[in-house]
Structure 1
């Protein structure tokens, strides 16, 4: 059996962000045969601009993201909520990975979204915006793999999500469902 590769895109650039820690915890839940890798460098990618999205001239950082998405079997977004929507860095990543239109790296790729915020709303607006953008970009949204964490400031202030049994169980279920969708796509 080949390895199922899931690329994780984290919407918070802050090194110690709880969303980053949730992504790290998700990596630890990967079953045998599933590999999760957190993409580094989203903050280095220029904002999408069709004037610089020219064959042979695409910025190296944007091309590296496209290549990483294309090499993955599925994509997992972990997003906080900034001013009621998803962070610009995630929207930008989706924009670059969606091109060229109709044939971008996200096309038909299984994707799921984990959202987390300090509010009880659990970043559900950000989650919905990420799902919408991924869907328009052509990704295959695995809705049942969605996961929301609310009041994370209180819940994870002293505990890393990797040390929270309930969080690990929930993240493992998300990773499992996303891996199943990736395997179904590969075997179709």
Structure 2
């Protein structure tokens, strides 16, 4: 496999976030030739506002987000679920990445979403919302990558079966070939 870079958007700002720990663990276990870049600072990006985006100079944090995701080959969201949907910080990041319309930083990039919650559904609704939003932003959602893992009866950071599914998701995202998928 050639060198592939994956920009990771973590949907939790909590310092002791299990999803952040999961992203960090997956970064250390990435397949050979795959660089995983956890994009920090999502909490410092102002809420998307077209007036700000159309100003002569957009906020540096938003510009840095666009630059890092734009430079990546793939995008992976690692997120919990808040009140049945994706966290506002992830939604805001996707909003910034979706502009300018039709030419945003995620256009054409393979996108996957994984994560865990202490619920029976493991964040499935948040993951569906993130995938839908990313698709509208122009990303190519790789359905086989989605892993919604419940953390009720398992330690997601140490369980070998869970880690195998999650590392496999990263591998599938890294290996995704749009031309082959379309055939």
The TM-score normalised by the length of structure 1 is 0.90
CA–CA distance in 1 between the matches of 2:178 and 2:54? 30
Contact 2:120–2:152 (CA<8 Å) still a contact in 1?
A: no
- Counterpart of 1:166? 161
Deviations 1:23-50 (A, max 9, x none): 1121122111001111110000000000
CA–CA distance in 1 between the matches of 2:24 and 2:94? 21
- Counterpart of 2:59? 59
**Equivalent runs, 1:98-109 vs 2, <5 Å:** 98-109=98-109
CA–CA distance in 1 between the matches of 2:71 and 2:112? 17
Pairwise CA distance, 1:2:
4.4
Contact 1:19–1:116 (CA<8 Å) still a contact in 2?
A: yes
CA–CA distance in 2 between the matches of 1:3 and 1:58? 31
Q: Classify 1:81/1:52 alpha carbon distance in 2 versus 1 (closer, same or farther; 3 Å).
A: same
Pairwise CA distance, 1:154:
4.6
Structure 2 gap segments, 5+ residues each: none
Pairwise CA distance, 1:185:
5.1
Pairwise CA distance, 1:164:
2.6
CA–CA distance in 1 between the matches of 2:53 and 2:45? 12
Contact 1:29–1:175 (CA<8 Å) still a contact in 2?
A: no
**Equivalent runs, 1:113-128 vs 2, <5 Å:** 113-128=113-128
CA–CA distance in 1 between the matches of 2:15 and 2:161? 23
Q: Secondary structure at the match of 1:127?
A: helix
CA–CA distance in 2 between the matches of 1:56 and 1:13? 29
CA–CA distance in 2 between the matches of 1:13 and 1:153? 21
Deviations 1:153-186 (A, max 9, x none): 5523xxx71x3322221111101110012xx359
1:47 to 2:47 alignment: yes
Runs of 4+ in 1 over 3 A off after TM superposition: none
Q: Secondary structure at the match of 2:53?
A: coil
Deviations 1:87-126 (A, max 9, x none): 0000000000010000000101000000311100111111
Q: Classify 1:5/1:186 alpha carbon distance in 2 versus 1 (closer, same or farther; 3 Å).
A: farther
Q: Aligned pairs, how many?
A: 181
- Counterpart of 1:70? 70
Contact 1:41–1:61 (CA<8 Å) still a contact in 2?
A: yes
